Amino acid sequence: MSKKRSILLGVTGSIAAYKAAELAREFSRQGVEVRVMMTPAATRFVSPLTFEALLTIPVITDIFNNSTVGPIPHVSLSADVDAILIAPASADAIARIAHGLADDIVSCTTLAFDGPVLIAPAMHHKMYLNVATQANIAILRERGVTVIGPESGELASGGHGAGRLSPVETIIGCTLKTLGKSGDLACRTVVVTAGGTQEPIDPVRCITNRSSGKMGYAIAEACRDRGASVVLISAPTALPPPPGIQIHGVRTAQEMFEATQAAVQHAEVLIMAAAVADYRPATPAHQKIKKGDESLTIELERTVDILGSLQGELLRVGFAAESSDLERNARAKLSAKGLDLIVANDITATDAGFNSESNRVTIIDRDGAVERLPLLPKREVADRVLDRVVQLLS
Ligand code: CTP
């Protein structure tokens, strides 16, 4: 995973061209290097300067402009990118690419590229539904081009119907999945749990914990970027849903158990990063509990141990949040739950763990091998854990 993933974003003449700027920015946020090429028509809708200011890279608009990317722009532009994404793809751009025309920088570069190509059509619904456009899209699909959307809805050009550019997060998700196809988790299905469960006391109160879900979400994103199909089972968090990941929202430990049990039927790996409540109120009140002068006692009962009860042909990774005897306690959990790997962290550390962007963990595997990692961003911790998962799978 050391080489930075890169895409070449082709922007063509559609009113949705302004959304390409948001797309480019989001790719950068996701750690993907972006280059931009625009058709002359696209530059009428949005200025190349917008992308240059956002990404501080030159934008290529001219097939004969060789000053910034070398003598043959349509070849050098895509020389080392992992995919071309054309978003928005106008009816005209789709037709040109389907028929192998090469008289603008986007169609010419796409014709000279033999890697994965994705298009996100955006146009008036009558243009989209025209048999010519439908036939051109069918040709591209048949040649292995990934077609993202379009969505139905109100159109900027007037009317209502299919032709809206897919949402930025959908386009990002599809592209990241394509970029991950050659990753070391390609063709694997991984179930990841995240966040802290909430166990109701009454309709407005619950028992929960301080888990932010950041570690679990980072693992889910790292799995996606390494090519896995990811099912993220998430207790409530403040995090946005990661693009390209199937997400199931749950609240209680019991709901998480049921969702996880169903999801692992089709998975090879389960990574339980969620902070699952070990106890829940035995009889949650149906009405809001009113205060009184007396003290209040709430009886708690054990929840199901999700990781401990899901066995079988499944590589299982647990997390251990410890405040003392880190390695000894983590080893005990590894063996009690029959895990393949346990990731332990010291919750008393002030610079790591709950709600922090970084974590300092120790990974112990089923053979007892111990790897103590330094303080790292959660995304890097996720990749180090997945390096071990990949080793164990092979
Ligand atoms: N876990 C689970 N089901 C539960 C509780 C925890 O699957 N009901 C999972 C967690 O997601 C985590 C691992 O088990 O991966 C943690 O093990 P556990 O023994 O529950 O850890 P703690 O709750 O920290 O245990 P203790 O309070 O005894 O330290």
- Domain ranges in the chain are 5-179, 184-393
Q: How far is the CA of 375 from the centre of ligand 1 (A)?
A: 23
What does the alpha-carbon distance between residue 203 and residue 210 come to, in Å, rounded to a whole number? 20
Q: Rounded to whole angstroms, what are the CA distances from 289 to 178, 227, 237, 285? A: 51, 48, 25, 7
- Nearest protein Cα to ligand 1, atom 19: 333
Residue to mutate, 323, 333, 334, 347, ligand 1, most ligand atoms under 8 Å from C-beta: 333
353: Cβ below 6 Å to ligand 1? no
Q: How far is the CA of 306 from the centre of ligand 1 (A)?
A: 8
* 219 DSSP assignment: H
Q: How far is the CA of 235 from the centre of ligand 1 (A)?
A: 15
274: Cβ below 6 Å to ligand 1? yes
306: Cβ below 6 Å to ligand 1? yes
233: Cβ below 6 Å to ligand 1? no
Tokens of 62: 């001219």
Q: State the CATH class of domain 184-393.
A: alpha beta
Please write the tens of the pLDDT for every residue from 206-229: 999 999 999 999 999 999 999 999
- Contacts for 153 with CB less than 8 Å, ≥ 6 apart: 160, 164
- Calculate mean pLDDT across residues 17-23: 96
Catalytic residues: 209
Q: How far is the CA of 231 from the centre of ligand 1 (A)?
A: 20
319: Cβ below 6 Å to ligand 1? yes
The reported pTM is 0.86
Please write the tens of the pLDDT for every residue from 112-149: 999 999 999 999 999 999 999 999 999 999 999 999 99
Short-list 62, 6, 2, 72, CA closest to 37: 62
Share of the chain above pLDDT 70, in %: 97
325: Cβ below 6 Å to ligand 1? no
- Calculate mean pLDDT across residues 78-86: 92
Helix (H) or strand (E) holding 93: helix 91-98
Burial of 283 (0-12, 13-18, 19+ CB in 10 A): exposed
Q: How far is the CA of 217 from the centre of ligand 1 (A)?
A: 18
- Nearest protein Cα to ligand 1, atom 18: 320
Residue 71 confidence class, pLDDT cut points 50, 70, 90: low
Q: How high is the pLDDT of residue 1?
A: 46
- Calculate mean pLDDT across residues 250-260: 98
Through-space distance between the first and last CA atoms of the chain, rounded to whole angstroms: 17
Q: Rounded to whole angstroms, what are the CA distances from 392 to 191, 268, 269? A: 16, 11, 10
- Calculate mean pLDDT across residues 54-67: 82
120: Cβ below 6 Å to ligand 1? no
The dihedral sign for the CA sequence 350, 354, 359, 361: positive
| Other CB atoms within 10 Å distance of the CB of residue 293 | 4
Q: How high is the pLDDT of residue 39?
A: 96
Residue 357 confidence class, pLDDT cut points 50, 70, 90: confident
pLDDT at position 158 over 60:
yes
Which of 4-18, 58-72, 135-149, 243-257 is predicted least confidently?
58-72
Contact between residue 208 and residue 166 where contact means Cβ atoms under 8 Å apart = no
Short-list 44, 11, 12, CA closest to 27: 11
The dihedral sign for the CA sequence 248, 252, 255, 257: positive
Residue for token pair 């934008």 = 59
Q: What is the mean pLDDT of the chain?
A: 93
Query: Are 5-179 and 184-393 in the same CATH fold?
Result: yes
Task: Say what the alpha-carbon torsion angle 198, 199, 205, 209 is, to the nearest 10 degrees.
Answer: -50
pLDDT at position 354 over 80:
no
Q: How high is the pLDDT of residue 351?
A: 77
- Nearest protein Cα to ligand 1, atom 4: 305
Q: State the CATH class of domain 5-179.
A: alpha beta
